[in-house]
Structure 1
Amino acid sequence: NVTVVEDLDCHDALAQMTQFIDKVDKIYLTIDLDVLPVWEMPAVSAPAALGVPLIQVLRLIEPVCRSGKLQAADLVEFNPRFDEDGAAARVAARLGWQIAHWWR
């Protein structure tokens, strides 16, 4: 039971996320960092030309984290070899921090 929404189909993603949260008892959140656009996250093996901007990802995961249904979360795909100035590490760290902050 996995739900996948492509980047071009994110126009109504918040409403879809809310409906999804209402239907399930427990949520495991995994964020593949290559969902972010290459200009925000170049430190992945398959950078996204379009992607979903960090601010939109944050708006989508906030209700998940605050739902009381989140059981586990992870971030995957960060590759420090492709992070020339540390900016991508800061993006990943902010995302991880935000999940932990909302998931109390």
Structure 2
Amino acid sequence: MSQISRDEVAHLARLARLALTEDELDSYAGQLDAILEHVSQIQSVDVAGVEPTDNPLTDVNVFRSDHVEQCLTQSEALAQAPKTADGRFAVPRILGEAE
């Protein structure tokens, strides 16, 4: 028996402002139903006596401490750039921006 109907998928699509075709509604209804079936199988597993585990790893903080180090100056960073403008890297415009 199906746990989610095609109408429910259409309702969810409207809430999410998604325009779905009739074929997509049928396809997603089946996919969501399969997901819900898998979730119900997982929920039916007997976990009585199983100790909860929030994190099996014992590492607490694996980050190195910050150290201020010497870095390139602006002129050193721009020295090998193919093109610069106003002290910055010059790159081609993208996404149809105006010149």
Q: Which has the larger radius of gyration?
A: 2
**TM-score > 0.5, shorter chain as reference:** no
TM-score (norm 2): 0.21
- Give the number of the structure whose residues are more often strand, by fraction: 1
TM-score by length of 1: 0.20
Higher helix share: 1
- Asked which structure has the greater RCO (Cα within 8 Å, sep 6+), the reply is 1
